[in-house]
Structure 1
Amino acid sequence: MKSFWSLITLITLLIPFSVQAAEGRVVSVAPVAHLIAAELLQETGIDTEFLAPARLPINRIPGWLRQVDASELESADVVLTIESVWPSLQLYPLMRSVSIQVVPIDLATELAPGGARVLMHPDAGESEYFWLDLNNLTQMINVAAKDLARVWPEESGTIERNRFDLQRAIQRTQIRIDGYLLAREFETLSLADERLMPLAQSLGMPISETGNNLRLSMAAGEDQHPEWLIDPLHRVGADSIKDWLITLETGLQAD
């Protein structure tokens, strides 16, 4: 009986450690990075936080970063960034000044020898929404999942399940978009905003205003062509990547 109660005592002492093992904090200032983190870390107990004010569009976040006081920030275990291709969104140096132990994960360029990098066309500017290419988005999710699982190996199974669910959702969206474009017999694409170029190029269609044309836009206009209204994830708005994918499809069907 004594050994039984000793075992119960040992289990009781170990339970708090097992619960706390998954505790952690992941921060970001790029809306797409925040949504990726939140979805991959569902059911893990790890907190995700978008540090910039949610009302700010991504082009105004660099200004916020220049003004924020590091002493007002709490330490984090991981910082998710895209600063290798958007250097104006450098968050890692700021968070490193708060805690030297913070781990950077760059979703645009994997921080590893020969690491994967998102595809961008040669003339791309920093402001291009490269995650609109769903192949880039998939790669960003894979990079995040791989590194987050290394930081919290006890949650690797949950992270992998969440990654797989996201990958399947992206694949379904790609299939439905391709099917819709084919059914409507669109011949060309045009852009109301050059920052939407990654999405247009990923569809493998000529970019021109001739023929049966579909215009990609971030706001409804009075254009004569059918329009695909796109939320580019330039601010925190969607509840999840999956919800945003639904919005992407809905915007296409609203032309």
Structure 2
Amino acid sequence: MKSFWSLLALLTLLMPLSLHASQGRVVSIAPVAHLIATELLQETGIDTEFLPPARLPVNRIPGWLRRVDAGDLESADVVITIESVWPSLPLYPLMRSVSIQVVPIDLATELAPGGARVLMHPDAVESEYFWLDLNNLTQMINVASKDLSRVWPEESGTIERNRFDLQRAIQRTQIRIDGYLLERDIETLSLADERLMPLAQSLGMPISETGHNLRLTLAAADDQHPEWLIDPLHRIGADSLKDWLTALETGLQVN
């Protein structure tokens, strides 16, 4: 009998740890949304999951979304999307069919009266990588942090610390990029792909094919322009958002 009560006491002590280890589930299908959620929820015990196969680029995820069976998906507490700006990635309706209680968080348009919205230039198309504007990325992180803290108020302190840490990492990247462009006397920018326009515009430099030009590109090319090779987060690649920011700087320094 004594051993029984000892075992019961041990199980009682372990129960809170087990509950904390899996106290929530957050899902997403946009790589940038997944990395933001994962970074903000570090050390909370809340699970984050990227639903499509990791190898899929973001332009192929709409096809996966059309084929996936809601019956094969587990319910989630929160779904993080960018579907207000990228309507081809409508994850919330799918997850709502799994559980009516799921909470949507749209990083591109805050779901609140007068909510914040990412900046898009007038001629923007859906496929633009708007998070490459690091001001947009900061705003997306703030929206996610605010709403996740409301869903899990007991974790708000940890989420806020993670948000602040990410914000500082973004600021450091912005300072280093600006400093590098100044040191290299870059006068203008050009684009190998129009989807990189948000990054180019955020730097506040003229976009032209003439002058001492820095070419923003998704793939290295053999030409006379200095190049900035950019990973736009079109698939899950970097282990964390901070690693991706480091890669963004490294791509600029290659040439």
The reply to whether TM is greater than 0.5 is: yes
Deviation at 1:20, TM superposition (A): 2.3
Tell me what 2:19 maps to: 20
**Residue-by-residue CA offset, 1:89-118 (whole Å, 9 max, x unaligned):** 000000000000000000000000000000
Give the match's secondary structure for 2:27: strand
Normalising by structure 2, what TM-score?
0.94
**Residue-by-residue CA offset, 1:4-37 (whole Å, 9 max, x unaligned):** xxxxx8xx85873576257100000000000000
**Residue-by-residue CA offset, 1:25-61 (whole Å, 9 max, x unaligned):** 0000000000000000000000000001111100000
Normalising by structure 1, what TM-score?
0.94
Give the match's secondary structure for 1:252: helix
Matches of residues 1-20 of structure 1 in structure 2 within 5 Å?
16-17=15-16, 20=19
Give the match's secondary structure for 2:126: coil
Corresponding pairs, count: 248
Tell me what 1:5 maps to: none
Tell me what 2:3 maps to: none
**Residue-by-residue CA offset, 1:139-160 (whole Å, 9 max, x unaligned):** 0000000000000000000000
Deviation at 1:185, TM superposition (A): 0.5
Tell me what 2:91 maps to: 91
Q: Distance in 2 between matches of 1:17 and 1:143?
A: 30
Q: Distance in 1 between matches of 2:242 and 2:144?
A: 16
Q: Distance in 1 between matches of 2:250 and 2:146?
A: 31
Q: Distance in 1 between matches of 2:152 and 2:13?
A: 18
Tell me what 1:6 maps to: none
Q: What runs of 5+ residues in structure 1 fail to find an aligned partner?
A: 1-8
Q: Distance in 2 between matches of 1:14 and 1:120?
A: 51
Cα distance change of structure 1 residues 18 and 149 upon mapping to structure 2, 3 Å threshold:
farther
Cα distance change of structure 1 residues 174 and 77 upon mapping to structure 2, 3 Å threshold:
same
Work out the percentage of aligned pairs sharing the same amino acid. Answer: 84
Q: Distance in 2 between matches of 1:48 and 1:103?
A: 14
Q: Distance in 1 between matches of 2:118 and 2:17?
A: 36
Tell me what 2:196 maps to: 196
**Residue-by-residue CA offset, 1:46-96 (whole Å, 9 max, x unaligned):** 000000111110000000000000000000000000000000000000000
Tell me what 1:149 maps to: 149
Tell me what 2:120 maps to: 120
AA aligned opposite 2:153 = P
AA aligned opposite 2:128 = E
Q: Distance in 2 between matches of 1:42 and 1:48?
A: 10
Q: Distance in 2 between matches of 1:15 and 1:138?
A: 38
**Residue-by-residue CA offset, 1:198-228 (whole Å, 9 max, x unaligned):** 0000000000011100000010001211000
Tell me what 2:41 maps to: 41
AA aligned opposite 1:42 = Q
Give the match's secondary structure for 1:89: coil
Q: Distance in 1 between matches of 2:108 and 2:17?
A: 33
Tell me what 1:53 maps to: 53
Deviation at 1:121, TM superposition (A): 0.3
Large movers: runs of 4+ above 3 Å: 12-19
Give the match's secondary structure for 2:101: coil
Give the match's secondary structure for 2:88: helix
Q: Distance in 2 between matches of 1:177 and 1:60?
A: 31
